[in-house]
Amino acid sequence: MSFGARVRVSRQSRDLSQTDLAHAVGTSQTCIHNWENDNTYPRPANMVALATALGVTQRFLEEGEGGCFNGHDCGRGAELCKSRIGPRPPYYG
């Protein structure tokens, strides 16, 4: 699974639109679209904000592996650990 696919699956698992995620990250919907389609890659500061907004680790987004924010390695590879999926982040619009 590519970086963009991990972003898309994580976003959809949280029931966020691209616009919702863009507001949470502090970027544009076009950036989210480009990331999900592997056209561009986030800058380091946006990567931190993206992982936080999606409730996943940067390592998961970058490599497709690693633990969730609950402090354990879920060991599910590309499949999302259900414990990663928390409440929807606030909308800052």
More confident residue, 19 or 66: 19
How many folded domains does the chain comprise? 1
Whether 38 is covered by a domain: the verdict is yes
Quick check: is 7 in a domain?
Answer: yes
CA distance 85 to 73: 15
Name the pTM for this structure.
0.71
Q: 């993206």: which residue's tokens? A: 50
How would you class 50 by CB atoms within 10 Å of its CB: exposed for 0-12, middle for 13-18, buried for 19 or more?
buried
Q: Which token pair is 87?
A: 């409440």
pLDDT tens sequence across 1-59: 889 999 999 999 999 999 999 999 999 999 999 999 999 999 999 999 999 999 999 99
Distance CA 28, CA 59 (A): 23
CATH number at residue 8: 1.10.260.40
Cβ 52 vs Cβ 38: under 8 Å: no
Residue 90 lies in a domain: no
